[in-house]
Amino acid sequence: MKLKIKRRKRDSKRCHTNFNTNNHRKKIFVSLLILQRKLVMFLSFHSLTLK
pLDDT tens digits along 21-30: 788 889 989 9
- Residues 2-30 as b/e (b if ≥16 CB within 10 A, e otherwise) read eeeeeebeeeeeeeeebeeeeeeeeeeee
Q: Mean of the pLDDT values across residues 19-47? A: 88
pLDDT of residue 39: 93
- pLDDT band for 33, please (50, 70, 90 cuts): very high
Report helix, strand or coil for 20. Answer: helix
Checking if the pLDDT of 5 tops 70, the result is: no
pLDDT tens digits along 7-25: 555 555 555 666 677 888 8
Count of CA atoms in the C-beta half-sphere (13 A) of 41: 6
Give CA–CA dist 7/50, Å, rounded: 55
Where do the structural domains in the chain lie, given as residue ranges?
A: 2-50
